[in-house]
Structure 1
Amino acid sequence: MTTTLFTDGWTFHRAGDETGEPVRLPHDAMIAEPRSADAATGNHGGYFPGGVYRYAKTWQVPADAAGRRYRVCFEGVYGDTVVTVDGVEVAACNSGYRAFEAPLGDLAPGHQVRIEVSVDNSKTPNSRWYTGSGIYRQVWLDEVGRRSFARDGVRFTTRSIAPEGVVDVALAVEGSDSGDIASIELADASGEVVASVELAVLDGTAAGELRIPSPQTWSAEHPHLYRARVRLLDASGSLLDERRVRLGLRTLDVDPRHGLRINGEQVLLRGACVHHDNGLLGAVTLPAAEYRRARILKENGYNAIRSSHNPLSRPFLDACDELGLYVMDELTDVWFNHKTKHDGADRFEEVWRDDARAMVAEDRNRPSVIMYSIGNEIGETATERGVKTAGEIDAFLRELDATRPTTLATNLLVSMMASRGSSPFESETYTAEPGTAKPEKKSSTAANAMTAKLGRIMELASRLPAADKASRDAFAQVRIAGYNYAYGRYAGDRKKYPERVIVGSESMPGDLPAIWKRVEAVPGVIGDFMWTGWDYLGEAGIGTWSYGQAAGGINKPFPALLAGTGAIDITGLPGAPTLLARAVWGRLEAPAIAVRPMQHAGERANKTPWRSSDAVQSWSWRGHAGKAEIEVYSADDEVELLLNGRSLGRRAAGARVGFVARFTATYEPGELVAVGYRGKRERGRSSLRSADAAALRLRSEQTGLAGPDDLAYVWVELADGAGIVDVSAEDRITVQVDGPAELAGFGNAAPITEDGYTGRVARTHDGRALAILRGTGEAGTVTLTARSERHGVDVLQFDAASTALPEVPTAPPAASVRS
């Protein structure tokens, strides 16, 4: 079998457009649509409209195609999808996060076929976040022989790691003949074969084991990967099919006494919830973008990802395997009760088994995936029908994959309301039809105050006996109980239910000091996932602070675009919630300084509980005067703050003050230094400096582009000669790309903006914008020119390479790789 990317040569058509425009997949049709206050997605989808789209491609069957079969594998298409070949329907999918395949059938060599993919995402809102539209994940073409491994036909399971590694192998073969042999070789990072076995194929299956002497195990700290080469041979030894799979050896144990153990060692999950969009790229899923997100999260102290609220993409899982991140992969946000007007509740019973099969098929060979979540905030689990459904999904997943535990991410307030016949989602404003303007939301001090206390309200409500009653039966159906915003129950519930294992599946970032104290102290609590590690499009304004008389609350009016909850913003810049998390986890080498935005000094902040602080890591506030509110994050006993060499005093730090020491000072340019002390000894220091005169400067995270799907992230900054960004500077930037690359996205991290991400012009936010360049697959020099209105011009050049697919390309879910 041969698998190749099938992403070039497509045309994209909006409804009524027969001409179309050329696109390279993956492609998000929604991100380029005009936003408006009356868009039907509303606050949920960032005020983007839905739409009806069509993708088309003409493909010529190879001249040597006799005896071969072909199929197109889609990793994900958002919208109700129908695939036709020469006008005949060959596949359909109504689940936006499920991988599926379209068989092309037996085709005559040299024949030209017309492949069309129709996508209907016009009924919105159908989700509580930005979804994107169209073929937003990668597409592959499989060439398959008459005898080949089944799509999910290569399975590895680590049985033990000591005194030697033992891996069970199970293979499924389609069209097998008597005498066929399966040959498996396992190689380490150097390419040396460390284990091998040959297995006879009988009645389409083969089973056996690999024994690895002195195995190197996989964990988040040491993510060692082996490479398995699996070949199907006929009786004469001729190659019929081949798969290559990356494999990590690790054991997984969960019990109420020891919690979670990986390779026999106890692990606490320092988790981040993430949605699927890629910020400026919209929903477009490319390996370079997913790898970057995973890398930045890992660099900032996280060791675990919760996919919210759908299965992770294949490239993100690849990155988690390679970098070392544990994964809670989640099935869905919706069962049979609606959360938005057009979501998948009406077809949940129809699709959940296929969705679960696809999720497990992608995850089963991955060391990073350690548990499956069967749903998020499913209020109906407080009912008899919901409890029964939880048991059915758990049993189905265990039948598919008995090696990983299941969990259920439960908001106990939601469950308690559901047990009484109500739902918080009933009040959501998703009933407006397109063209019907929503009334402008006014600021209300009382409403803003209530919003600020919402996290505390949920946490207190979760402690009520009624909350326990509404959740206990559903929790009994899964191996790990997932608590959303309910850390106050941990100690009591562990005593009441001594066999229960608990994970904090969703939490407010500002509650982490209190949460982590319980995670470390209460046996059987295995970690916490904050909402969210990375910011996302849609659910606009839930974590965005506003000021003065601006609209508050958690559902911000247009032009709100981003959730604003991310500890890391959509461009990849860590914020104050990241500093708090690193301090709590003991992962700050020195005190870290952040300053509340001085352009809002003296204004009332309309806070939301999904953001613990609006402070930024900058001491550049040109043009602003007055009192600066300074936050120093540290696990030390005390911190001292110095401004231009003058001490502003010492403050208590560490756990006793929630890991944040607070100072105020009259702003003056210069240097701000924080010094941390343990006892009387200095442990570390850090500083912020104000920027000198700023100019437009380009700074690339990459030195070049490695191929057609590689991305270069280029920071467009208003910075001085030392690279210090002036966050108070604002400008309008125009960029031009010349050479073998295209502008894939350009914008900033402003949560409330009317600007888009698909044009050549963008404003700066806090002194920055970000340009994302995608290689075309040709070799040459790429030139990025940026021109500002007030800060000059800068030019950046780098090389782009025409790079073939790697030796072991990342392949479509559970399908083949290049042989």
Structure 2
Amino acid sequence: MTTTLFTEGWTFHRGDAEPGAPVRLPHDAMIGEPRSPESGTDNHGGFFSGGIYVYRKQWAVPQNALRQTYALTFEGVYGKTRVLVNGREVARNDSPYRGFGVPLEGVTPGGTALIEVEVDNRDVPNSRWYTGSGIYRPVWLESAGAVRIARDGVSLVSRSITAGPARTDATVDVAVQIDGPVPAGAKVVVEFAFDGQPVARRKADVDAGIAPLDISVSGAQLWSAEHPHLYDVRVSLVVNDETVDERDLRTGLRTVEVDARRGLRVNGETVLLRGTAVHHDNGPLGAATFSAAEWRRARLLKEAGYNAIRSAHNPLSRAFLDACDELGLYVMDELTDVWFARKTPHDGAPQFRDEWREDAAAMIAEDRNRPSVIMYSIGNEIAEAASAPGVELAQEIHAFFAELDPTRPTTIAVNPLLAMMAARAKPSKNGDDSPPERTSATSTAANMVTAKLGRMMVLASTLPAADKATRDIFASVDIAGYNYGYASYARARKRYPDRVIVGTESMHGDLPAIWKRVTSVPGVIGDFSWTGWDYLGEVGLGYWTYGTEAGGIAKPYPGVLAGCGAFDITGAPGATVLLAQAVWGITGVPGIAVRPVDRAGQRPNKTPWLSTDAVTSWSWRGLEGVADVEVYSAAEKVELLLNGRSLGRRTAGPKKGFVARFRVPYEPGELVAVAYTNGIETGRSSLRSAAETRLRLRAETAVLHGPDDLAYVWVELADEDGIVDAATDDRVTVSIDGPGTIAALGSATPSTLESFVASTRTTFRGRALAIVRGADASGQIVVRVSSERHGDAELILSATGSADAPAPSIATAP
């Protein structure tokens, strides 16, 4: 089978609009739509509008179309989708995160065929977050002969790993499924290579369309988050000594085990998950799934110290999984946020019973050869899981996963407060066995209760009623997943000694208390914070407002962000990253963050999902007053110095939640934090104020490889040393000359009337981010930026015109 990208040469139409605009996929139609309080998506979707869209492409049909079969694979389309070839419907799909195949039949060899994709995403909100619209993930063209290796037809399972004194050997079970009429004598050949060198080869006969075999790899290099070794695997279908089809994969050799006594073990070694959740959007790019953007997110999270990702609340993209395999990140891949009870007016609940098997099978087929995926979540905060029909369905879904992939455990992310609320809901009025009516028992309702009553979700998990509402659903899966329930871990383990526990969702500020339990309560295998990367929609869940500004966790228009990421949507890390690093003990260097000096004296309207509004800056031009400084450290004591003067030492480490707080008069200069344990310095760090600032550009990567690569260009109001002033903002306008385009322009401001697809933007805390997309041509790309008050700047990128990079560009934090 030959697979090539099928992403160029499309036109995009809003409704019946003609002519269409040229577009190269992936493409998010929603990010360019107008925003308003009446948009329909409301707070859930960032006040963007839905719509109906058409994508068209003229396909030049190859001359060999009679001998070869052709098909398209769509990795993801958001909206109710119809695919037509020459006006004839050939496929439908309403599951936005499921890839699907489309046969290209009845076309004329050597002619052209009109491919149309109609996407209807008018019925909003259909999710609790920003979804995007249209063909937001890549499309592939597949060609194969009459007999071929089936799509997703290769299964690789590390059956055993034997570690000896001199080397480690692995045995891999391989099963290859063949489609089409298999000739007598057909064989499958499987070859493993490492770093370009062949290491193992086996051959097997095809029997009834299946070729099973096992292959031994001597001196195996095992995959883990710390050592993500990968093997290249080539699977060949051979008929009469002729190779008629091939499939190339990359996989890692590793085993996963979990039990209540020894916890999670990868390759026999105990692993604690330092995890975080991510949504599927890419900030200023919207939902468009670019490989470079997915790799950048994964890379930055890995560099920050996270070793695990929870997809929230849908299967991760192929590109993100590729990055996790290559970089070394454990993955909890999640099936869905909704079962058969609605959470928003137009979500997928009505069709869930009919479609969950197809969705689950597609996710398993994508994940089963990936070493990064170590467990499956069958749902998130499913209120009906507290009912008998919900428990029955959970058992059915778990059994389905276990049958298709017995090598990975299952979990379900349960919010004990929500489960307790759902269990107390009134019986259904439908006169059947449907679950209780729960118009108020939803994830959003539980969040609102917590926002009003503080620690309600955490405390609720300790109640007998919460245990009663969750015990049956937890017994239906391999691992009990707690959302905001860490206070009950020790009690749950005593009551249920065989229960394995993972924190599927938690607030950043609770990490000190959570990690104490992770490292002391047997059977607790880790934690996933909410969230690792900020996202569009669910507006105001995390960000703080001040004074008379609207508070709460559902903030009004023109809010656009959730505001609760460890990294903001541009990729800048926040204070919660510093807290996590201190709690995990992965650095001896103290981290400094400062509460916004321009908000000093104003009453903050806080939310539980953001533990602090502090930012990593000591540059607040033109301001004076008291500054609240937070120093994050695992050390016993922290000393703070301002312009060489000691401001005293404070206790840090576990006794103070890993943070020492100082209140100091703000003055420009240098702020230094020094960490001490047993009176000995263990590390120091500093922040400095900016001198004279002007507009400056800084690119994370200087070379673009082809039309699907991205360069992230920071637009900063900084001094000559690159120090950005957090109190200075300006309007900037970006233009491009050369073989590239502006894919997006944005900032981390949580509330704005500005568009991510416009060429002008106001900086936030001194920064904006321009994302440049490459092209088919090579040459220089000149990025020019002008500002209203800080001058102009220019930066030159190089474009190779081809996707020949060995791996997506490595990003570094700002």
Q: Determine the C-alpha separation between the residues in 1 that align with 2:193 and 2:242.
A: 22
8 Å contact kept, 2:276–2:306 = yes
- Seen in structure 2, the aligned counterparts of structure 1 residues 427 and 367 have a Cα distance that, compared at 3 Å, is closer
Q: Determine the C-alpha separation between the residues in 1 that align with 2:363 and 2:516.
A: 33
Aligned residue identity for 2:409: P
Q: 2:215 pairs with 207, 210, 226, which one?
A: 210
- The 5 Å alignment of 1:468-507 reads 468-507=467-506
Tell me the equivalent position of 1:467: 466
**Deviation (angstroms), 1:720:** 0.1
8 Å contact kept, 1:458–1:486 = yes
Q: The residue matched to 1:151 in structure 2 has which SS?
A: strand
**Deviation (angstroms), 1:350:** 1.2
Tell me the equivalent position of 2:612: 613
Q: Determine the C-alpha separation between the residues in 2 that align with 1:669 and 1:399.
A: 63
8 Å contact kept, 2:693–2:717 = yes
> Does residue 367 of the first structure (1) align with residue 363 of the second (2)?
no
Tell me the equivalent position of 2:785: 786
Tell me the equivalent position of 2:433: none
Tell me the equivalent position of 1:719: 718
Q: 2:239 pairs with 226, 234, 242, which one?
A: 234
- The 5 Å alignment of 1:664-683 reads 664-683=663-682
Tell me the equivalent position of 1:35: 35
Aligned residue identity for 1:174: D
**Deviation (angstroms), 1:365:** 0.1
Equivalenced residues, count: 792
Cα offsets for 1:253-273 (capped at 9, x unmatched): 000000000000000000011
8 Å contact kept, 2:449–2:456 = no
- Seen in structure 2, the aligned counterparts of structure 1 residues 733 and 808 have a Cα distance that, compared at 3 Å, is closer
Q: 1:186 pairs with 192, 212, 229, which one?
A: 192
**Deviation (angstroms), 1:107:** 3.2
**Deviation (angstroms), 1:420:** 1.1
Identical residues among aligned pairs (%): 61
Q: Determine the C-alpha separation between the residues in 2 that align with 1:451 and 1:670.
A: 40
8 Å contact kept, 1:717–1:768 = yes
Tell me the equivalent position of 2:53: 53
Tell me the equivalent position of 2:553: 554
Tell me the equivalent position of 1:323: 327
Q: 2:183 pairs with 174, 177, 182, which one?
A: 177
Q: Determine the C-alpha separation between the residues in 1 that align with 2:448 and 2:766.
A: 31
Q: Determine the C-alpha separation between the residues in 1 that align with 2:447 and 2:150.
A: 56
Q: Determine the C-alpha separation between the residues in 2 that align with 1:721 and 1:654.
A: 36
Q: The residue matched to 2:681 in structure 1 has which SS?
A: strand
Tell me the equivalent position of 2:516: 517
Tell me the equivalent position of 1:441: none
8 Å contact kept, 2:450–2:456 = no
Q: The residue matched to 2:234 in structure 1 has which SS?
A: strand
8 Å contact kept, 1:76–1:96 = yes
Tell me the equivalent position of 2:811: none
Cα offsets for 1:8-50 (capped at 9, x unmatched): 0000011130311110000000000010011111000000011
**Deviation (angstroms), 1:428:** 8.2
Of 549-558 and 98-107, the range deviating more from structure 2 = 98-107
Cα offsets for 1:467-523 (capped at 9, x unmatched): 100110011110000000000110000010011000000001100000000000000
- The 5 Å alignment of 1:386-785 reads 386-421=390-425, 426=440, 452=451, 454-785=453-784
Q: The residue matched to 1:521 in structure 2 has which SS?
A: coil
Cα offsets for 1:41-77 (capped at 9, x unmatched): 1000000011000100010111233310100100000
- Seen in structure 2, the aligned counterparts of structure 1 residues 348 and 609 have a Cα distance that, compared at 3 Å, is same
**Deviation (angstroms), 1:619:** 0.4
> Does residue 4 of the first structure (1) align with residue 26 of the second (2)?
no
> Does residue 302 of the first structure (1) align with residue 306 of the second (2)?
yes
- Seen in structure 2, the aligned counterparts of structure 1 residues 735 and 670 have a Cα distance that, compared at 3 Å, is same
Where has structure 1 moved over 4 Å in runs of 4 or more? 422-425, 427-431, 447-455, 804-809
Q: The residue matched to 1:54 in structure 2 has which SS?
A: strand
**Deviation (angstroms), 1:106:** 4.8
**Deviation (angstroms), 1:706:** 1.3
Cα offsets for 1:287-321 (capped at 9, x unmatched): 10000000000011100000000000000000000
Q: Determine the C-alpha separation between the residues in 2 that align with 1:427 and 1:161.
A: 46
Tell me the equivalent position of 1:248: 252
Of 453-462 and 179-188, the range deviating more from structure 2 = 453-462
- Seen in structure 2, the aligned counterparts of structure 1 residues 496 and 22 have a Cα distance that, compared at 3 Å, is same
- Seen in structure 2, the aligned counterparts of structure 1 residues 476 and 181 have a Cα distance that, compared at 3 Å, is same
Of 517-526 and 456-465, the range deviating more from structure 2 = 456-465
8 Å contact kept, 1:178–1:202 = no
8 Å contact kept, 1:129–1:537 = yes
**Deviation (angstroms), 1:238:** 1.2
Aligned residue identity for 1:327: V
Of 42-51 and 800-809, the range deviating more from structure 2 = 800-809
Aligned residue identity for 1:568: F
**Deviation (angstroms), 1:703:** 1.6
CA RMSD, Structure 1 to Structure 2 (Å):
1.7
8 Å contact kept, 2:421–2:441 = no
Q: 1:344 pairs with 333, 344, 348, which one?
A: 348
Uncovered stretches (5+) of structure 1, i.e. residues with no partner? 432-446, 810-819
Q: Determine the C-alpha separation between the residues in 2 that align with 1:735 and 1:796.
A: 11
Q: The residue matched to 1:391 in structure 2 has which SS?
A: helix
TM-score of the two chains, using structure 2 as the length reference: 0.96
Q: Determine the C-alpha separation between the residues in 1 that align with 2:797 and 2:336.
A: 42
8 Å contact kept, 1:70–1:106 = no
TM-score of the two chains, using structure 1 as the length reference: 0.95
Q: The residue matched to 1:289 in structure 2 has which SS?
A: helix
Tell me the equivalent position of 1:436: none
8 Å contact kept, 1:455–1:508 = no
Q: The residue matched to 1:31 in structure 2 has which SS?
A: helix
8 Å contact kept, 2:315–2:334 = yes
8 Å contact kept, 2:489–2:501 = yes
8 Å contact kept, 1:218–1:249 = yes
